[in-house]
Structure 1
Amino acid sequence: MSARTRGRSFGREASHQILAGGSAGLLEICLMHPLDVVKTRFQIQRGSIDPNNYKNLRDSFLKIYHKERLFGFYKGILPPILVETPKRAVKFFTFEQYKILLGYVSLSPGLTFAIAGLGSGLTEAIVVNPFEVVKVGLQANQDTFAQQPSTLGYARHIIKTKGLGLQGLNKGLTATLGRHGIFNMVYFGFYFNVKNIIPLNKDPTLEFGRKFGIGLLSGIMASIINVPFDVAKSRIQGPQPVPGEIKYITCFKTITTIYQEEGYFALYKGLLPKIMRLGPGGAVMLLAYEYVYSWLQKNW
């Protein structure tokens, strides 16, 4: 195969992976964003003294709806939509490329999937973190949708007041690296290893169910394992407890502070909406990626 043919083949594969990953991410975010808003609200509230605090999932949905109406559940959706195509493209494309690179090393297939997932998560985190800073800030705002600043306006405000660094648009980068790295390591590692163990089913409906079930378990397991990093990220990127005083700075110091002041279970705030989002959402993403990628392979 000539260099030109190899380049064309790589370009086609890359475009298929990018388009399939972007389509999967866009579908997942549109379906699951309300649960992400609820998860963030749980994670940034401290203690249980404030009467405005959310007591449970039902209470949070009712309070958000009564105070902020339907659009309140879609606060901060523009940043993930804007970044979803490149974010998921990076996620799936780099996962495939890390798998190829790791193929030159004598690793077991199971370990290859996990390490490739870790690498894709770390790469994805670098791309997505500025958008996460803007998204969390907008989600934390409890004004009505019409009263809150626009996405671009809020991003400009962050850049103007805090800059582009680790106190500004890249605040919470270490926590985001931990969140995405660990999630993708478990998510991809579990999904592809288990999928290779459980036999294919000739019935298309049952085969879809097999893949969806494995994807669901992958998303749930990854969510449970990485949630302390997610809580730390939300605390660092969200409003600080005392205005003008920065309490949550680095990932592990934030985790330690939360544990010391609020106990172990505070590190799992927002776990239920996170599981409800990333369990089925993770399954939707993997299936959408596989089916779109397969369609592109056959038709383009």
Structure 2
Amino acid sequence: MAGIPDHKQDEVGLGDPMVRFHSFLHGGTSSLLSTLPTLIVFPVYKTVFRQQIHNTAVHLAVEQLFKEGPVKLYRGVAPPLLMKTLNGTLLFGLQDTLVHQFSLSSQNTISTSALAGFGAGMVEAVVFTPFERVQNVLQNSQNDRHLPTLKSILVRLNTQKPALGYYKALLPITARNALGSSIYFGLKGPLRTVVERQGLSQVVSSFISGTLTSMAISLTLYPLSVLVANMQAQVGGEVKGVMACWGTLWESRQRSVALLYRGGSLVILRSCITWGIATAIYDKQQKREG
């Protein structure tokens, strides 16, 4: 997810390749700087993962992690840190590039930014699904015995067909990322403008708009994240399609929306911190270059 390009940017700026390069650079930088909050809230993320996989209450998930100790607590932290930085680089830069391409034939509008976000989200899914797959396998404690290290996981996934290995759950990930990026790019700019009218600074306005947009996306698309986590956590076993996996998940949640959203409040907290900071930093850098 990323910020909407400045609507006041002139045609010369839009056509400058360096402007596109700066979008990639600023996206990577803002995401890299937001990795500190990612480290801090990683235990929160792992608590959510346990709730998604095992359908446990938050206090039981916390007790499980506490008993396992700090070493296992941060097992699986490397993929999200690497993915966070590369993700921001690709998504921010690619969305800005697509907006420029679309603007050559039509006016740069909110719908243009949203459409560019949708396209960037699809590319993001193809590139980063393997990262998410490895991360989910690492975080599943049931894999600790037969897949104890990152190397063992990579070796095992290499023996699988792409659709069952690195690219398992590609379809729901693509739907989640494309829709999420589209919503984010379409709403962030207008929300920032509304907040700025209240007399707040540009940095604060960007942080708030990024936070509110991320919150809306997390709540709306949370069921897809739960589905992805359950599809990717295991290696091997019975082969099921997306709809069959959804049916199994829905039954395991006792056909309850409340149980399906278990852990959703923690997702909101994590998204507010990481994307709020990343958005504020990115917008600040873009304004400085403008």
Matched with 1:158 is 157
* Pair 1:61–1:19, CA change in 2 (3 A): farther
d(CA) in 1 for partners of 2:119, 2:193: 21
d(CA) in 1 for partners of 2:103, 2:157: 42
Give RMSD over aligned pairs: 3.0
Gaps of 5+ in 1: 47-53
Please state whether the residue corresponding to 1:15 is helix, strand or coil.
helix
Deviation at 1:202, TM superposition (A): 6.8
Matched AA of 1:150: T
Within-5 A mapping of 1:45-60:
45-46=54-55, 54-56=56-58, 58-60=59-61
d(CA) in 1 for partners of 2:50, 2:32: 22
Deviation at 1:173, TM superposition (A): 0.6
Deviation at 1:60, TM superposition (A): 2.3
Within-5 A mapping of 1:279-290:
279-290=272-283
* Pair 1:110–1:181, CA change in 2 (3 A): same
Contact 2:33 2:278 in 1 (8 A): yes
d(CA) in 1 for partners of 2:228, 2:107: 32
Asked whether 1:139 is paired with 2:132, we answer no
Matched AA of 1:168: G
d(CA) in 2 for partners of 1:167, 1:59: 31
* Pair 1:201–1:37, CA change in 2 (3 A): same
Matched with 1:209 is 204
d(CA) in 1 for partners of 2:21, 2:262: 38
Between the two proteins, the alignment pairs up a number of residues equal to: 274
Matched with 1:249 is 241
Pick which of 32-41 and 168-177 moved more.
32-41
Please state whether the residue corresponding to 2:99 is helix, strand or coil.
helix
d(CA) in 2 for partners of 1:14, 1:105: 18
Within-5 A mapping of 1:121-136:
121-136=121-136
Deviation at 1:24, TM superposition (A): 2.2
Asked whether 1:195 is paired with 2:163, we answer no
d(CA) in 2 for partners of 1:235, 1:203: 41
- Residues 13-37 of structure 1: CA deviation (Å, up to 9, x unaligned): 2332222212222333442333222
Matched AA of 2:57: K
Please state whether the residue corresponding to 1:166 is helix, strand or coil.
coil
d(CA) in 1 for partners of 2:34, 2:176: 18
d(CA) in 1 for partners of 2:146, 2:252: 33
* Pair 1:151–1:222, CA change in 2 (3 A): same
2:27 to 16, 21, 26: 21
Deviation at 1:40, TM superposition (A): 1.7
Identical positions, percent: 21
- Residues 37-85 of structure 1: CA deviation (Å, up to 9, x unaligned): 2222211115xxxxxxx312x4423430222x22333221212233333
Contact 1:34 1:73 in 2 (8 A): yes
Matched with 1:50 is none
Matched with 1:51 is none
Asked whether 1:66 is paired with 2:67, we answer yes
Contact 1:35 1:273 in 2 (8 A): yes
Matched AA of 1:169: Y
Matched AA of 1:277: R
TM-score by length of 1: 0.79
Contact 2:37 2:273 in 1 (8 A): no
d(CA) in 2 for partners of 1:203, 1:220: 20
Contact 2:32 2:85 in 1 (8 A): yes
Deviation at 1:275, TM superposition (A): 1.0
d(CA) in 2 for partners of 1:288, 1:110: 21
Deviation at 1:107, TM superposition (A): 6.3
Asked whether 1:183 is paired with 2:180, we answer yes
Please state whether the residue corresponding to 2:26 is helix, strand or coil.
helix
Matched AA of 2:265: L
Contact 1:182 1:225 in 2 (8 A): no
Matched with 1:117 is 117
Q: Which runs of 4+ in 1 moved over 4 A?
A: 105-108, 200-204
Matched with 2:229 is 234
Matched with 2:266 is 273
d(CA) in 2 for partners of 1:221, 1:293: 24
d(CA) in 1 for partners of 2:204, 2:146: 43
Matched with 1:38 is 47
Deviation at 1:232, TM superposition (A): 1.2
* Pair 1:76–1:186, CA change in 2 (3 A): same
Matched with 2:3 is none
